């Protein structure tokens, strides 16, 4: 079987592509190698994939007529590509074009594929809003441009399922951590600052924020579990993450424990749209997908610290 992974050079996309290779699938990836963060890091993520036979196409999904660029003999699409996170340097146009327009173009391409079995949209807990502790059928209340545009992208994909034009589902991911995490994200920054004796910028009050910090390997388990379950997942939304909650301070302490020294912090002003609590309700994924994340926070941090030391 042949799988298309968009955003393949990114954190979770690259891990998922590796898993598909290990399962014996042919993997094609597409990425625009946006300079939103280090292009060198994205190229590092792709190095092993290319060595394992993965085809990686550099292209921007915001451009139309993707069928002229991407192969049409695709069995599954896993759509990770997006303008990520909450960033003061990203405009609404960045979020809209990368998350909505690009998704619409990818859907148009998917409809041209010869025998597509499933379109898997990769969503986010940010769709729920400032608190993300709910089941998948709750009305979303996104509180950021990121959350709003990811909800729009999700609905564009599921619309085609409702119209019975293609089988599709959406997976809402919770606070993914581990090797290859983006450099501006919490744990990579904590590790970098701790190793370099710099203070970690802590948003005011965020030390008490609660998160479902979920190891990337556990997330990938959930993502690949939809393969072969097209009839079950079609038109559905699934939360993927751990049910275990930790505060931001717990995360800071875990990094300090692994590094063998405390990470100092410097309080900075609050960030608009930042979620104060995420706790993945995975009853549906557990029931229908057999999803069961097991990796502890400390195990996750140890893996990420080892990756950081090896590469940086």
Q: What is the DSSP letter of 85?
A: S
Q: How confident is the model at residue 307, as a pLDDT?
A: 97
End-to-end Cα separation, the chain, in angstroms: 35
8 A C-beta contact, residue 275 and residue 125: yes
Q: How confident is the model at residue 222, as a pLDDT?
A: 98
DSSP string, 105-144: HHHHHHTTSSS--EEEEEEEGGGT-SEE---TTSPP---S
Q: In what order do the strands lie in the sheet with 26-31?
A: 55-58, 26-31, 2-6, 76-79, 118-124, 168-173, 237-240
- Assigned token pair, 220: 């990938």
Q: Is the dihedral of CA 289, 292, 297, 298 positive or negative?
A: negative
Nearest Cα neighbor of 70 from 33, 117, 110, 121 is 110
Q: How confident is the model at residue 188, as a pLDDT?
A: 97
- The whole model's pTM is what? 0.95
Total Cβ atoms within 10 A of residue 145:
21
Nearest Cα neighbor of 210 from 273, 255, 276 is 276
The residue ranges of every structural domain in the chain are 2-174+215-240, 177-211+244-279+294-311
Q: Is the dihedral of CA 125, 129, 130, 133 positive or negative?
A: negative
C-alpha–C-alpha distance, residues 146 and 312, integer Å = 29
Q: How confident is the model at residue 9, as a pLDDT?
A: 98
Q: How confident is the model at residue 35, as a pLDDT?
A: 93
C-alpha–C-alpha distance, residues 97 and 147, integer Å = 14
* Residues whose CB is less than 8 angstroms from the CB of residue 268 and which lie 6 or more positions away in sequence, other chains included: 201, 202, 203, 204
DSSP string, 266-309: EEE---TT--SEE----HHHHHHH-------HHHHHHHHHHHHH
8 A C-beta contact, residue 129 and residue 181: no
C-alpha–C-alpha distance, residues 253 and 257, integer Å = 6
**Tens-level pLDDT at each residue, the chain (312 residues):** 999 999 999 999 999 999 999 999 999 999 999 999 999 999 999 998 999 999 999 999 999 999 999 999 999 999 999 999 877 788 999 999 999 999 999 999 999 999 999 999 999 999 999 999 999 999 999 999 999 999 999 999 999 999 999 999 999 999 999 999 999 999 999 999 999 999 999 999 899 999 999 999 999 999 999 999 999 999 999 999 999 999 999 999 999 999 999 999 999 998 777 888 999 999 999 999 999 999 999 999 999 999 999 998
Q: Does domain 2-174+215-240 have CATH number 3.20.20.70?
A: no
Q: How confident is the model at residue 18, as a pLDDT?
A: 98
Domain 177-211+244-279+294-311: homologous superfamily in CATH = UDP-galactose 4-epimerase, domain 1 (3.90.25.10)
Which residues are registered as beta bridge partners of 191? Answer: none
C-alpha–C-alpha distance, residues 6 and 157, integer Å = 14
């Amino acid at each position: 079987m042949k799988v298309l992974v968009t955003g393949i050079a990114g954190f979770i996309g690259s891990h998922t592509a590796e898993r598909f290779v290990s399962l014996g699938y042919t993997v094609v990836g597409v990425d625009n190698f946006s300079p939103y963060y280090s292009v060198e890091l994205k190229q590092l993520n792709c190095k092993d994939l290319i060595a394992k036979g993965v085809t990686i196409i550099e292209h921007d999904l915001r451009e139309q007529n993707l069928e002229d660029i991407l192969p049409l003999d695709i069995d599954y699409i896993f759509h990770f590509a997006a303008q990520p996170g909450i960033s003061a340097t990203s405009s609404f146009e960045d979020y809209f074009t990368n998350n909505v327009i690009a998704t619409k173009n990818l859907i148009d391409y998917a409809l041209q594929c010869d025998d597509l079995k499933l379109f898997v949209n990769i969503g986010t807990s940010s769709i729920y809003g400032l608190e993300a502790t709910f089941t998948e059928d709750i009305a979303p209340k996104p509180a950021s441009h990121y959350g709003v545009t990811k909800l729009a992208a999700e609905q564009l994909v599921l619309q085609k399922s409702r119209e019975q034009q293609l089988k599709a589902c959406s997976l809402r991911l919770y606070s993914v951590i581990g090797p290859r995490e983006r450099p501006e994200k919490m744990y990579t920054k904590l590790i970098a600052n701790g190793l370099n004796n710099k203070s970690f910028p802590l948003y005011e009050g965020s030390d008490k924020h609660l998160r479902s910090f979920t190891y990337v390997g556990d997330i990938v388990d959930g993502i690949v579990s939809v393969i072969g379950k097209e009839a079950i997942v079609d038109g559905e939304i699934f939360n993927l993450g751990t049910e275990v909650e930790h505060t931001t301070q717990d995360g800071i302490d875990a990094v300090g424990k692994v590094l063998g020294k405390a990470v100092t912090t410097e309080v900075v002003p609050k960030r608009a749209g930042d979620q104060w609590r995420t706790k993945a309700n995975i009853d549906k994924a557990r029931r229908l997908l057999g999803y069961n994340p097991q990796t502890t926070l400390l195990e996750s941090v140890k893996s990420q610290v080892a990756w950081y030391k090896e590469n940086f």
